[in-house]
Amino acid sequence: MYAKEHVHSKVGLEKVGLKPTDIKQLTMHWNLTPAELYEHIIRNGEGVLTNKGAIRILTGQYTGRSPKDKFFVEQAPSKDEIWWGSVNQPISAEVFDHLHKKVLDHLSHQDDLYIIDAWGGTDPKYRLPVRVVSEVAYHALFAWNMFVRATEEELAEHDPEMTILAAPSLIAKPDEDGTRTGTFIIANLEKKIILIGGTMYSGEVKKGIFSILNYLLPHQGVMPMHCSANIGPKGDTAVFFGLSGTGKTTLSADSSRILIGDDEHGWSDDGIFNFEGGCYAKTIHLSPEGEPEIYATTQMFGTILENVPLKDDRSPDFDDARYTENTRASYPISYIP
């Protein structure tokens, strides 16, 4: 059933195998607002409110991505267009189908499912309609922040070309399920589904869609880039390349220039465009003096603070790495002036 009359697509979850008869006992929450998602996050025990209105989440065992547990289904026609190796690891269609059924069964037995429909990409010519379905409200808020929001008119007609099914509390059994560990991230380009299990870390959601755009867009003459970018008052664009944690977000958050994006972009014949609607900044040792624009976002309602320790007054302690050095803030790009 539906929680309330939020706009949701005519294209339901049947597209990925969740039939109405299988999920009639649970409540589907479509495209909730950040305020509503806050209520669910706190009610579900997924996070706590900080002193200035951000929400703090602890992701548990995994405080970063699990690249060794990420796979692509090896099947035609995509198998001949993928550079297989330690980054793009192959897995069989049989393993995917088995885990797909397992994820569907797991999700169908939850009390609540959270669904966000959005776009991957800001350029209408190249954007990808995406859907995130998760058992946790935190993933929905992350998707709200990080992907490009659809209008109400677009939501009503939204037909996702890639759906993420996230079941963080489902732990795989390698001997039975064909995985490496209890964690799995498996993309099926033909069925247009990404399965995520055994990890709460939301970076898998973000990078899952980036991987799909990496595959699709070169066929359309667009070069995907792992970079940040901004533009100056004279229309001059600067692009900052680098691996995670090397300073792309910091360099691009320049008050004298307009931010295009902090991590994932496409370069087409028309120029550079952001894949995302938000930023995912590292916050270890963040200070108002060193990075004032980014620091200001951590004091705003709607921002997610991942694995950031809190002081007694619920203010974030960005110098404390007790959970991980990879502390993060997820926030809408509009939070950067």
Which residue out of 15, 79, 192, 226 is catalytically annotated? 226
Angle at 272 between CA 270 and CA 273, to 5 degrees: 105
65 classed as catalytic: yes
Residue 185: DSSP 8-state: E
- Of the candidates 27, 244, 268, 324, the residue annotated as catalytic is 244
Q: Going by DSSP bridges, is the β-strand pair 70-73/89-91 parallel, antiparallel, or unpaired?
A: parallel
- Residue 263 annotated to the active site: yes
248 is catalytic: yes
- Of 70, 131, 282, 328, the catalytic one is 328
Q: What tokens does 108 get? A: 């169908």
Active-site residue among 29, 40, 56, 65?
Answer: 65
- Candidate list 9, 127, 263, 327, residue with the active-site label: 263
- CB-CB contact of 303 with 292 (8 Å): no
**Max CA distance (Å), the chain:** 59
Task: Report the DSSP beta bridge partners of residue 148.
Answer: 119
Which segments of the chain are extended strands (E)? Answer: 27-30, 47-49, 55-57, 70-73, 89-91, 112-120, 128-134, 148-149, 162-167, 184-188, 193-197, 223-231, 237-241, 258-261, 264-268, 271-274, 278-282, 304-306, 328-332
Q: Is 177 designated active site?
A: no
Beta bridge partners of 91: 73
- With beta carbons less than 8 A apart as the criterion, state whether 72 and 91 touch: yes
CA distance 180 to 193: 20
Whether 226 is catalytic is yes
Q: Specify which residues 117 forms β-bridges with.
A: 131
For residue 170, count other CB atoms closer than 10 A to its CB: 22
Please pick, among 66, 163, 199, 249, the residue that the annotation labels catalytic: 249
The yes-or-no answer on residue 127 being catalytic is no
Question: Which residues are designated catalytic?
Answer: 65, 207, 226, 244, 248-249, 263, 328
